[in-house]
Structure 1
Amino acid sequence: MTRTPDTDLARLKQSVSLLGLARKQGRPMKKRGEDYVLRCPFHNEKTPSMVISPAKNLYHCFGCGAAGSVLDWVIQTEGVTLKIAIRRLRELAGLPDMDNAVVAASSLAAQPESQAAPLPRPKLADLDDDGQALLRQVIDFYHQNLLASPEAKEWLERRGLNHPELVSHFKLGYAGHHGIGGSAGLLPSKSSQEGQQLRDKLSGLGVLRTTTRQDHFRGCVVVPVIGWAESASVASRGRVLQLYGRR
């Protein structure tokens, strides 16, 4: 399963009403002030001791001590795993199943259509922090380019990938026709010392071609691979592992 970043998980917990879910499950309850009380589903009781707070989207039982978020509620009341509970919340929130999104994005990276080869050197996961930070700036530039490009969005639409959350989650990008070195890019003038040094670094990363100094992904939709998967080594978590380009 693809790891759900903590910030995304926090937003997901707030996007589904715990009170609404408990009502859908057919649990009788009474309003008490700003909260609601009901019989705890986790132990036998005659007098309701479970409190649901809509304002905090949390529950707490004063009888057995059970407490948690809407995610914990789904896991405990439906007897499912964390993976299935997250999928269930995404479904209730009207969001795409990220496992399917992983498959879609992976298939995009593997498509045999016109493409730019993945970055050839060096092994990106082994870069120092400065190299990784520079790559993330490049990815952010590509990502903002895609968000502003009807052409890139149409390309994704034809492949069933133009969903805002998928695009955001995978940081899909678009290098544009001129790439990162174009007039709208983030590079200083090539005539300046700073511009030359930055181009040397990007050439060393493979983002710019060594001979022409043109963007390796010029004209491509760019798919970054970031080490969020649980199977990724601890050292690779959150690091840019590879970039793929597709036309």
Structure 2
Amino acid sequence: MALPLDFVERVRESNDIVEVVREYFPLKKAGQNYKALCPFHSEKTPSFFVSPSKQIFHCFGCGEGGDVIGFVMKIENISFYEAVKKLAERAGIPVPHFKEEPEEAKRKKILLGILKRTAEFYSRYFWESKKAEEARKYMLEERGVKEEVLKEFMIGYAPRGSVLVEEARKSGIDITLLEESGVVVYRVDKKKYEDRFSNRIIFPIKDSQGRVVGFGGRILGKGEPKYLNSPETRYFHKSRILYNFDKVKEYALKENSIIITEGYMDVIGLWQVGIKNVVATMGTAFTSQHVRLISRFVERVYLLFDPDFAGKEAVLRSTDLLLKSGLDVRVVINETEMEPDEIAKEKGFSFLKDMIKNGMDLIGFRIKEAVKGRDI
């Protein structure tokens, strides 16, 4: 059943939008309003504004905007009903018994089902198809990943062409549902739908509940981009998800720490040698949502990025957020010429464990880089 309008209005009026937003990230006064860096897109100059008089938010960079309920829906990636319930509980307002709107619940189930079945299809294709032989050889032999690890991470292969589009047409599946799920894309220039991923190793991305919400695809052979991710969808937001977080929680709690890397293969490489409190940012900037996610489980964070300039820049971009978080942050100094998954493969568990154990505190790392003349 639908929520009573008077209940929704009471919830809206009982939750000041400035106070709610401040629970997620800091705001700065800007005249009669407040401003911050937008949590919904990457930017260097604040374009996200909150109006206490109008009780709305608006980003002049990406165009996101709305009231306090809309903000919670967007920042938490939850439905209208879930957002109202969350805000009601925050304000101490008794929540009437209600169920999620049937159509919304049905659509959610359908979309998540499509993503799950797509991941299963890619995985089956990887192991069973002759056309995936090169993909299997690449992962098993060149990258040295064991069969059981590949299966644990549901690694798959997206063949050339548009097999998902073809299968949808044969099965009578509404192609727009696949588009909404992010697995197919409409090419305006060609005036037709195509699979988003073609000739790529597939890494299913799961939310904290273990549900497939998106994919990362690495090109097999030459081609650009090297890595292609699912687009932002109702359920997939790179700024809120860390790769492997669904499996890492018990190990993170045990170690009271999380190791943050850049990519899918870094996670898989470390996992294979027995280092399992590891996640990846999937090439995106580290965000306040990532910080909140991690700080619920651990007190210490290790940053283990690639040894090149870009890897160090990634560390430096993360420093301000992490320093404000109260977490104990250590930078793993990678003096090898190898990426983390290569270190795991060539040097093994003990070497990596020592590297991590000797991580430098964040302030010390910044000073070290400043002495080198790097702008921080």
Q: Per chain length, whose mean CA-contact separation is higher, i.e. which structure has more relative contact order (CA < 8 Å, sep 6+)?
A: 1
Q: Same fold (TM over 0.5)?
A: no
TM-score (norm 1): 0.38
TM-score (norm 2): 0.25
When Rg is computed on C-alpha atoms for both structures, the one with the higher figure is: 1
